[in-house]
A = this chain, B = another copy of it.
Amino acid sequence: MAIKFEVLKECNETRARVGRLTTPHGVIETPIFMPVGTQATVKAVAPRDLEDMGAQIILSNTYHLYLRPGHELIAEAGGLHQFMNWNGSILTDSGGFQVFSLSSLNQITEDGVWFRSHIDGSKHWFSPERAIEIENALGADIIMAFDECTPYPCDYDYARAAMERTHRWAIRCKQAHRRPESQALFGIVQGSTFADLRQESARFLADLDFPGYGIGGLSTGEPKPLMYDMLEVTVPLIPKNKPRYLMGIGSPDSLMEGTIRGIDMFDCVLPTRVARNGTAFTSVGRVVIRNATYARDFSPLDPNCECYACQNFTRAYLRHLIKAKEILGYQLLSIHNLHYLLHIMRGLRQAILEDRTLDYVRTVLASYDSEPYNVAGCRP
Contact = CB atoms under 8 A, between A and B. Distances in A.
Contact of A320 (B40, B296, B314, B327): B40
A328 B43 contact: yes
A295 B69 contact: yes
Nearest to A314: B77
Most buried by B among A43, A45, A313, A332: A313
A324 interface: yes
A273 to B, nearest CB: 12
Nearest to A276: B327
Interface of A: 39-48, 68-69, 73, 76-78, 83-85, 295-296, 298, 308, 312-314, 316-317, 319-321, 323-324, 326-332
Contacts of A45: 328
Contacts of A312: 47-48, 85
Contact of A316 (B42, B77, B298, B328): B77
A324 B68 contact: yes
Contact of A327 (B43, B77, B84, B319): B43
A68 B308 contact: no
Given A69-B295, A327-B331, A83 B317 contact: yes
B327 A68 contact: no
A42 B323 CA distance: 15
Contact of A328 (B46, B77, B296): B46
B44 A317 contact: no
Given A43-B326, A76-B296, 15 more contacts: A39-B320, A39-B321, A39-B324, A40-B320, A45-B328, A68-B320, A68-B323, A69-B295, A69-B320, A69-B323, A73-B316, A77-B298, A77-B317, A83-B317, A83-B320
A22 to B, nearest CB: 25
B317 A40 contact: yes
B73 A296 contact: yes
Contacts of A78: 298
Nearest to A326: B41
Given A46-B328, A331-B331, A313 B85 contact: yes
Contacts of A323: 68-69
A329 B44 CA distance: 9
A323 B324 CA distance: 24
